[in-house]
Amino acid sequence: MIPLTYWLMAAMLTPLLGALVISRLDKLPDYREAVTLVTASILFSINVYLFNHLDAASSAQFTIAEPIEGLAISFVLNQFGLMFALIASGLWIATSIYAIGYMRAHHEKNQTRFFTLFAVAIAGVMAVAFSENLFTLFIFYEFLTVSTYPLVTHAGTREAKRGGRKYILILMGTSILFFLPAMIWVYYLADTLTFTSGGILAGHADPKWVLPLLLMFILGISKAGVMPFHKWLPAAMVAPTPVSALLHAVAVVKAGVFSLVKVVVFIFGTDFITESGANKILLWFPIITIVLASLIALSKDNLKERLAYSTISQLSYIVLGALLATQQAVIGAGMHIAMHAFGKIALFFAAGAILVTMHKKLVSDLNGMGRAMPLTFTVFTIGTLSIIGIPLFGGMWSKWYLLSGALGFEQNAVLYWTVLGALTLSTLLNVYYLLSIPVRAFFFTNPSYTVIKEAPKACLIGMAIPTFVTLYLFFDPSIFYGLSLSLTGS
Amino acid sequence: MNEQLTILLVVVPLMIAPITALFKSHTISWILTAIVSFTSLILSFIILFDVIDGSHVIYELGGWRPPWGIEYKIDSLNAFIALIVSAIACLSTIFAWQSVPKEINENNYGLFYAALQLCLLGLLGIALTGDIFNLFVFLEISSLSSYALISMGRSRKALTAAFSYLILGTIGATFFLIGVGFLYAASGSLNIADIATRFSTFADMQLVMTGFIFILLGLGLKAAIFPMHSWLPNAYGHAPSVVSIFLSATATKVSIYVLIRVLFDLYPVAYWQALLLPQILLVLGCVGVIYGSFRAWQQVELKRLLAFSSVAQIGYIIIGISLLNNDGITASVMHLFNHALIKATLFMGAGIILYRTNTTKLSELRGFGGSMPWTFAAIVLAGLSLIGVPGTVGFVTKWYLLSGAIAQGKWIVVVAILAGSVLAIAYVWKIVEAMYFNSKRKMVIQNVKSGDINLAKAPISLSLALWIGAAGCLYFGLYTELPYQSAQSIATALLSSEVAQ
Amino acid sequence: MIEYILGHINYWFIIAVMMVGLYTLISRANLIKKLAGLAIFQTAVILFYVSLGKVTGGTVPIVDEAYTLYSNPLPQVLMLTAIVVGVATTALGFALVIRIKEAYNTIEEDAIFTLDQKDHE
């Protein structure tokens, strides 16, 4: 019987080891991709094992170093983190299968570097997920920024360079400008940064400081894509599609909202936020983001950019849920991390499949393409429906909890109706800008698309996985519900 | 018994440097230099472990009792600075093995290494001595040898850079000397500890303040504190690689050490607080951070970019000192160490680039990242440390600096530090972009004479030194015991000496 | 007032010398003249130290029973070192000027600056 701590260590070391092996296999692409798949599967199995032994969670804890007195780089097995780790590692398998088809069909250069750094980024995600304190989380938050930079600029073109510059400047700049001082300030007030159920600030800080502090966190954790620091995400769309799919619909952006939810729940504590009333003002940030991003998405003709703005809008659902700070809303926020991940990755996979097979990037070019790529557009439709939140698809549940969380938020009539209004409006806009795409593809006719010409097989298999999971999650959301429940302290 | 070791730190290079100058062979002079620098490293380690608990080691030169004789009084600050200097000397020596034959005229090997040893001697002497006139002498020994070293750079601009450094450096040193003269006129003593204990008896004399201002100006010039930094970018930008590495990591640091000594151990803190000096220094530090980072961002040549970033980093150290609390001083002292490590690593990276491609212009470095991924990785690592990304040494300093500023409620300082960091991202990324993109293309090698065999050889000693530095950036970012404990012990000593007076 | 000025007459002269040195250093473009200015500047400091050591009515500091009041010998001793440093600086400066002359074929600062600008382009 291996102690749980070692399993936890293995969760972070496996992708790193995998990266090391992959980087040595430049000349043997088949083995390289086999190693990627095997690593992803092992990692997922480790996370499943951890899930099965959650009852002894608190015993699995270890520290690497203590650079600053009282602040250690340490990790602990925790439910919410495990949820994030499960999603990321599970989807890594799907993405790896998909990437094999995509990268080969697209004749990308430097594939070894791509697969290596992908594994490194996943290691960063695992470390973020299992962080024991805010300090550790911050370290690997930055690690994730740096390690994904070469993936974003993979193409090496002038456009990629410009996108990469924006990516690094916004993500790292805001984190140093706001996140770091906010963290030091918290440490100065509370003398600890350990994630604690119920928060660490209550009793140490004057409630009037919640507003500026939390604002600094919202601005500083720009990976969560809250406006005005959201521009990096559309800029990052120059990356190859598997990167956009796993990193910029799941790993990186979810690391952002994950951090924000962690800060709200385990640093401030929902009660303390409600008591301070700061969220009444701060809620406007996600509300405005949700609506504005949906409107911008509407205006984008580039498919990946439209999906990026849709992601920005959806991420703010999670921020909104966290800031509402009611039990239901926080559960909704936690679940939406999972639900949105599966839906959005399916959309990105479909977009990539279209790019690889038909070489089309623009929405306006998709008319009638459903005839040629029925499977791809079926996947797209299911992903869209899940994101809109229609029953039969997993996305419904998180919206359900978010809405019921908002219903419990009756302190302020104006805000209450604004939240409801924003959610409704954005759902309607979702229908308009996302659902219009498969509708165009299936119901318009275009003489050039008559013969069936689907994406490579590997891509199709990769796409199938999240699609089925989305369907399954409608009938059985209990896993993610159970893991999100830890956010409420029960 | 360890008293004797302290003087050895100065005597060993003093004895070996003239011998080195006699040899023309590169191997022999390099071995002698290696002996000197590694001996110094071991000695400084032994001394540091003796005094880290707050005790002193005292050595009286020639057996003369202070205040008449010259006295070496080693506390943790002295030992820590000596350790930084000799550690960087070791790194530079390793790096020199393959870099010097390429960059220096073959007739000058012996002289070059002798000058390097003399410079080391001067810096170690400054770090150890407790006599302020003796300190001036060591300051001039190190400065004179560094003028000579810088002038050995490859382009003729090195000559003019060395000349203007000579003019400004001498003015600085002479100012310092005038200040010491005034202080001597008032106190009748040259021993730092002696002057400090009797300070109250002559504190009212006008001379004391005049002397103080002269000393500050002189040190400001030597330490390249904004706005007295104008000599630095040219001097470090055109010097031979080894010299850039060694001087950028040590010369200004040692001058800052003297500044710390003067501010905390020579003059009582209350005395210069009344002159509004902390506020002035704070403003200079903040402006220096922003200005230096901004100018670095504008540069198109790697070594000059790094040199301007040094101006900014000196600003951080000055901010820490002028915060006048435990966290601030800890940050400053740690940054002396951390920045020495980071800057040495980056200049080593620049040295390798120069070695391989014969250029350090950013626009000519395309494809370097692809052709030399490991060197590139080390440069990126050190660059991230410069920004202050967590897990690296730069972060630890920034953390304490920000804690110090927040504890004092100085929000503008916090903003300046953070703005400097964001600018640091911009200029570090300028380097990264220059090397990373177009990796499909092989790197371009400039200005090569036909039949140059150096190109084919992998520069092992260069990579070794570089990776020691880069690993240090990471290691001391995670396991901070050594610099932190030293800095803590120093900060406690400095602040308590103020209370005692 | 007059007494104050006359009483410190040596210092006024020293300040004058020092200013001459600094002015030469700053105003001349010729590198040799700059070095001359630097040397004058340093000499002023040496004079300053030496005059510090003078004690009114004191004699040469040689132990003799007939005298009890000596001038302070220490500043003069210190200045021996400072003179050495000064000479070394000047020598190094001249060596650099020779090298600059070889490299640029001029020792006028403006001309060198123009040449450097040309290199840069």
- Is residue B255 a part of any domain in this protein? no
Measure the CA–CA gap between A141 and B73, rounded to whole angstroms. 46
- Give me the domain span that covers residue A104: 4-488
Q: Which residues of C51-88 are buried (b: 16+ CB within 10 A; e: fewer)?
A: ebbeeeeeeebeeeeeeeeebeebbbebbeebeebbee
For the cut 70, the answer to whether the pLDDT of residue B4 exceeds it is yes
Q: Which of B310, B443, B309, B428 is nearest to B380 (CA)?
A: B428
For the cut 60, the answer to whether the pLDDT of residue B448 exceeds it is no
Least confident interval from A200-204, B221-225, B456-460: B456-460
For the cut 70, the answer to whether the pLDDT of residue B445 exceeds it is no
Contacts of B184 (CB under 8 A, 6+ apart): B133, B190, C52, C75
B185 reaches C (C-beta below 8 A): yes
Least confident interval from A90-99, A130-139, B101-110, B429-438: B429-438
Q: What is the pLDDT of residue B499?
A: 46
Do the beta carbons of residue B426 and residue A169 sit within 8 Å? yes
**B368 vs B152 pLDDT, higher one:** B152
**CA dist B407 to B101, B181, B283, B472, Å?**
51, 39, 18, 29
Residue A158's H or E segment, with its range, is helix A158-174
Nearest CA in chain B to C111: B160
pLDDT > 90: what percent of chain B?
32
**Residues in chain C whose Cβ is within 8 Å of chain B:** 25, 31, 34, 38, 41-42, 45, 48-49, 52, 75, 78, 81-82, 85, 88-89, 92-93, 96-97, 99-100, 103-104, 112, 116, 119
pLDDT > 70: what percent of chain A?
98
Q: What is the pLDDT of residue B446?
A: 59
For residue A149, the SS3 value is helix
For the cut 50, the answer to whether the pLDDT of residue B456 exceeds it is no
What is the pLDDT confidence band of residue A386, given thresholds at 50, 70 and 90? Answer: confident
CA distance B200 to chain C (A): 22
Total domains, chain B:
1
For the cut 90, the answer to whether the pLDDT of residue A158 exceeds it is no
For the cut 60, the answer to whether the pLDDT of residue B223 exceeds it is yes
What is the pLDDT confidence band of residue A393, given thresholds at 50, 70 and 90? Answer: confident
CA A256 from chain centre, in angstroms, equals: 7
Please name every residue paired with B129 in a beta bridge, in sequence order, or none if there are none: B72
Which residue of A172, A178, A189, A238 is the best one to mutate when testing the B interface, meaning the one whose CB has the most B CBs within 10 A? A172
What is the pLDDT confidence band of residue A489, given thresholds at 50, 70 and 90? Answer: low
- Is residue B260 a part of any domain in this protein? no
A67 reaches B (C-beta below 8 A): yes
Q: Is the N-terminal amide bond of B227 cis, ω within 30° of 0?
A: yes
Average confidence score pLDDT of chain A: 83
For the cut 90, the answer to whether the pLDDT of residue B360 exceeds it is no
pLDDT tens-digit series, residues B173-205: 999 999 999 888 888 888 888 888 888 888 888
Measure the CA–CA gap between A7 and B339, rounded to whole angstroms. 38
Q: What is the pLDDT of residue B443?
A: 57
For the cut 60, the answer to whether the pLDDT of residue B369 exceeds it is yes
What is the 8-class DSSP label of residue A362? B
- Is residue B207 a part of any domain in this protein? no
Task: Please list the helix, strand and coil fractions of chain C in percent, rounded to the nearest 5, in that order.
Answer: 75, 5, 20
pLDDT tens-digit series, residues A40-68: 888 888 888 888 887 766 677 888 888 88
**C57 vs C80 pLDDT, higher one:** C80
Q: What is the pLDDT of residue B501?
A: 42
pLDDT > 90: what percent of chain A?
0
In this structure, are strands A71-76 and A61-68 parallel, antiparallel, or unpaired? Answer: antiparallel
Task: Quickly list DSSP for B45-101.
Answer: HHHHHHHTTS--EEEEGGGPPTTTS-EEEE-HHHHHHHHHHHHHHHHHHHHHHHHHH
What is the pLDDT confidence band of residue B87, given thresholds at 50, 70 and 90? Answer: very high
For the cut 80, the answer to whether the pLDDT of residue A181 exceeds it is yes
Q: Which chains touch A (3 or more CB pairs under 8 A)?
A: B
Confidence (pTM): 0.88
Q: What is the pLDDT of residue B34?
A: 93
pLDDT tens-digit series, residues A11-27: 888 888 888 888 888 77
Q: Which of A347, A282, A281 is nearest to A314 (CA)?
A: A347
A181 reaches B (C-beta below 8 A): yes
What is the 8-class DSSP label of residue B440? T
Least confident interval from A392-396, B241-245, B401-405: A392-396
Burial group, residue A248, by CB count within 10 angstroms (0-12, 13-18, 19+): buried
For the cut 90, the answer to whether the pLDDT of residue B120 exceeds it is yes
For the cut 90, the answer to whether the pLDDT of residue B138 exceeds it is yes
For the cut 70, the answer to whether the pLDDT of residue A376 exceeds it is yes
| Cβ neighbours of C100 in B, within 8 Å | 156, 159-160, 163
Q: Give backbone dihedrals phi and psi of A76, rounded to 5 degrees, phi first.
A: -145, 145
Put simply, the answer to whether A67 touches B477 (Cβ < 8 Å) is yes
What mean pLDDT do residues A231-250 have?
80
Q: What is the pLDDT of residue B344?
A: 92
What is the pLDDT confidence band of residue B500, given thresholds at 50, 70 and 90? Answer: very low
What mean pLDDT do residues B412-437 have?
87
A139 reaches B (C-beta below 8 A): yes
| Cβ neighbours of A169 in B, within 8 Å | 422, 425-426, 429
What is the pLDDT confidence band of residue C91, given thresholds at 50, 70 and 90? Answer: very high
What is the pLDDT confidence band of residue B89, given thresholds at 50, 70 and 90? Answer: very high
Put simply, the answer to whether C100 touches B159 (Cβ < 8 Å) is yes
CA distance B425 to chain A (A): 7
- The domains found in chain C, sorted by start residue, are 2-120 (1.10.287.3510)
**A448 vs B1 pLDDT, higher one:** A448
What mean pLDDT do residues B313-331 have?
90
Q: What is the pLDDT of residue B256?
A: 92
Q: Which residues of A278-313 are buried (b: 16+ CB within 10 A; e: fewer)?
A: bbbebbebbbbbbbbbbebbeebeebbbbbbbbbbb
What is the 8-class DSSP label of residue A446? -
Average confidence score pLDDT of chain B: 86
A49 reaches B (C-beta below 8 A): no
A107 reaches B (C-beta below 8 A): no
Q: Which of A236, A222, A31 is nearest to A151 (CA)?
A: A236
Longest dimension (CA), chain C: 74
Q: What is the pLDDT of residue A57?
A: 63
Do the beta carbons of residue A377 and residue A438 sit within 8 Å? yes
Nearest to B425 among A73, A139, A173 (CB): A173
What mean pLDDT do residues C72-96 have?
90
What is the pLDDT confidence band of residue A224, given thresholds at 50, 70 and 90? Answer: confident
Measure the CA–CA gap between A324 and A286, rounded to whole angstroms. 11
**CA dist B195 to B60, B129, B498, Å?**
17, 14, 14
For the cut 60, the answer to whether the pLDDT of residue B442 exceeds it is no
Total domains, chain A:
1
pLDDT > 70: what percent of chain B?
94
What is the pLDDT confidence band of residue B135, given thresholds at 50, 70 and 90? Answer: very high
Nearest CA in chain B to C94: B163
The Cα angle at residue B11 between residues B7 and B16, in degrees rounded to 5 = 160
Q: What is the pLDDT of residue C121?
A: 63
